[in-house]
Structures are given as structure tokens and as C-alpha cells.
Amino acid sequence: MSRNLFQGAIPPSFSNIHQLRYLDLSNNNFSGQPSDSIGGLHQLDILDLSKNKFHGKPLPENSNLASLSSLLLNDNQFVGEIPSYLCQSRLMFVDISENQLSGNLPSCLSNLFLIILNVGGNNLEGQLPNDLCNYSSLQYLDLSRNHFFGEIPSCFNLSSLEYLNLNENLLTGLIPIALSGTPLKILDIGNNEFFGDISSWIRGAILNLEILSLKGNNFTGPISEKICNLKYVRILDLSHNNFSGHIPSCLDNMGHVESVRSYSVEINTGITWEFHPSYKGIIEVKDYGGYLTIMEVEDIDFETKSRSYIYKGSIINYFSGLDLSCNQLVGKIPMEMGNMSWLRALNLSNNQLSGLIPDTLSRLTNIESLDLSCNMLTGSIPTQLAELYFIEVFSSIPRNSRNTLSIATLIPKKILNNLGDISKDRIRNRVNREVINGNRKDVGVDENGFSCQR
């Protein structure tokens, strides 16, 4: 019954379907509180009420759902605490994200054989409990966009974990060395209050990582060359920190995988469950010819040109990016970066980089967004960059006398001809304004979002 226009409350007549094992009412306009009839379906194995307008407590207090293995309540308006009676079930897949739930994570959840747990986008709070270290079966954990604080437990070394998203909380401290012992492929701890030098953690870092985001924290020190051992990484975001020193010249060792892979797990029921990792997981359960498949809607938040873009669906398989912006990096742009032909977005803006733009960047044949603005670069923009036919956004515009690129060759005509119409108009407007004012210091933020501010 999913993906219709049903509205109102769930009919109480559902309580008469005693043998019902799979109920999918997702993607409708149902409202109100789930009726007691749901709680009385003792044989229910999969319950999907996601993407509706339900409110109140997640499930009736007298629910007897001991057979439940999959619970999907995401994208509703549920309030209150996560009910502890869920621990009396045999749940393996739980998505209660994008609601208004509050309180702490129930400690009893560690007693379940959880494989996927997504509670992102709520109002949960408290320190991350040490019970998390007991989630030995967990492969996917999303605690993002809540109010968790404190440090990641030092015992956090889950042997099955492949996806961890802690983005947008109030977490602090160092990255625990224990994380290095996990089989993580995607790690997002961005937009928290972590600090310190990552060199010691990187030495034993997770070699299978494909996506790594440390953005928006307080990390300091140099970017260790050990990070180049993460050869499968295709999305690396270290922006908005306090990293210093030079850009490692070995970063071109990354990007050895063509796409973010999907993962599957066999359950003793004989059903194959597959999921694709994402940044903001929204789990959907579908029935394809008798096979129940749990899938992830891929969703990546990556910033280019001071804007944040959301990449969804299969496009994630083709996206790749490197963002080192808004740090304190110095020195020249390594010529070896031109070997990263798999990159689609490169942002080195708001640093203290100096020297010439290397003409080897013309080898970035898949690049769509290149931002070198707000540095201390000199010389002319290489005309070889005209070979970047896929580029849509290019910025090396000086501001506050930081970049001192020659205005006569600021945007070579060949490069301008390859840009999209919108990008060309934005650049012309800024160049024209700079020439009219006759002073590079007058070039600032315009209405199109070109900004060098951190």
C-alpha cells in the first residue's frame, strides 16, 4: 500500500489480519498516532510506516511485537523517547531517523542483533554510551544531527561496522585509535568539536575507507602523508579545520575504486538484505518478486564554491571530491595533483598557498568544480586549463589582495568558452567589477555566492 495518497488514521480493522508478516504503509499521508491494532499484530516481521505524518509516540505502549525484525518509522513527527520495549523484539534493522525523538539511546539495544541502526535527525542527547561497544553485529550506524556530546568511547572497535555517521553533534576529544580496527568504508565525523593532530590516528587508519569527512572540527597540525595510504578514498573532506603545513604530494595515490560499493548480508530466514552506504540514510523496504530488499537512498553533502550540494541516488557512484579549503595550508599546489583524473570537485580555497597554478591540473579531465580562490597564488592562469571541457565552476578570483594572478590573463578566453553560461556570467561580473573599481580589495561577496569568507 506504499506510495499512494492514503490519509487519515490506520484502520482498526488491521487488527484482524492475525497472520500478517509484512506491512508497508510508507510514502502516504497517514496521520495521527499508530493505532493499537498495529501493536497487536504478533506475527509482524517487517513494519514500514516511513514518510507519513504520524505523530505522538512511535508505537502504542502495549505493543507486542516480539517477532519484529525490521522497523522503519523515519520521516514522521514522532516525539518522546525511544521505547525500551523495542528491546523485547528480535530487531535487526531500525530506522527512526528524521523525527523529533528525545532522550538517550536505550542501553538495552545492545542486547539485539542489530545490523542497521539509524536515529539521525532527532533531538537525542547525552554521551555516547559504552554499550555501543557491544553492538558486535552492527554494520551501519547513523547518529548524525542530534545533540550527543562527550567523547567517542575508547572501546569503540566494532568488527562488522562499515558505515559510521556522527555528523552534526557536539562530540569532542581525539579520534579513538580503536576506530582503526574496524572495517569502515564510510566515516563522517564532520561538524563536531573534535581536536588534535590526526597523524597518530592516520598511521593505523582504516585502509578500506572510501569516504572520509573530518570537516568543521578543530583538528590541527600537518596533513600526514600516511593519509595517502587510503588508496580507495574518492571523497575526502578536511575543510574548515586548522590544518597547517604543505599539501601532501602523494594524494594522487587515492581513488583506486570506481564506485561506492553496495553490501549485502545473508540472514537465517534465507532473505538477502542489501544496502548501499550513504551520508544521510533513508532506508526503504521493497518487495521485488518475493525478495525483500533493504536499500539506501544515497545522499552526500559536499561543498563546492562555498555552497553545499546534495548528491543523491546512483550519481554517488560517479561523484568524487577533495576539499581542503578553509585551513592554514602553505606552500605550492603539488604538481602530482594533476594525476587525480578521477576528481570531479577540487577545493583548495581559503588557505595560504603560494606560487604558480601548476599546468598539470589540465589532466583533471573529469573536473566540474575547481576553486583555488583566496590564497596567495601568483602568475597567470595556465591556458592548458582550457582542456577541462567538463568544468562548470572555476574560481581563482583574488580578494583582499591574496591571490595576485595577472588580471590580463585572469580568465583566458579558451577557459571561459568551456564554462557553463551561468559560471561565465558570474566570472564576467566579478572581473568587470574589479576593473571598474580599479582595486582588487573592492572585490567581495556577490549575489551569486562567490565568497572567500570562512
**Predicted confidence (pLDDT) per residue in 348-386, tens digit:** 999 999 999 999 999 998 888 899 999 999 988 888 887
3-state secondary structure the chain: CCCCCCEECCCHHHHHCCCCCEEECCCCEEEECCCHHHHCCCCCCEEECCCCEEEECCCCCCCCCCCCCEEECCCCEEEEECCHHHHHCCCCEEECCCCEEEECCCHHHHHCCCCEEECCCCEEEEECCHHHHHCCCCCEEECCCCEEEECCCCCCCCCCCCEEECCCCEEEECCCHHHHHCCCCEEECCCCEEEEECHHHHHCCCCCCCEEECCCCEEEEECCHHHHHCCCCCEEECCCCEEEECCCCCHHHCCCCCCCCCEEEECCCCCEEEECCCCCCCEEEEEECCEEEEEECCEEEEEECCEEEEEEHHHHHCCCEEECCCCEEEECCCHHHHHCCCCCEEECCCCEEEECCCHHHHHCCCCCEEECCCCEEEECCCHHHHHCCCCCEEECCCCCCCCEECHHHCCCHHHHHHCCHHHHHHHHHHHHHHHHHCCHHHCCCCCCCCCCCC
More confident of the two residues 395 and 139: 139
User: Is residue 443 very low, low, confident or very high in pLDDT (cuts 50, 70, 90)?
Assistant: very low
Residue 129 has pLDDT above 70, yes or no: yes
**Predicted confidence (pLDDT) per residue in 231-252, tens digit:** 999 999 999 999 999 999 999 9
Average pLDDT for residues 143-164, to the nearest whole number?
92
The model carries a pTM of 0.82
The predicted structure's pLDDT at residue 53? 94
User: Is residue 398 very low, low, confident or very high in pLDDT (cuts 50, 70, 90)?
Assistant: low
The predicted structure's pLDDT at residue 404? 62
User: Is residue 273 very low, low, confident or very high in pLDDT (cuts 50, 70, 90)?
Assistant: very low
The predicted structure's pLDDT at residue 417? 55
Residue 71 has pLDDT above 50, yes or no: yes
The class (CATH top level) of 300-448 is alpha beta
**Predicted confidence (pLDDT) per residue in 74-102, tens digit:** 999 999 999 888 888 899 999 999 999 99
Domain map (residue ranges) of the chain: 300-448
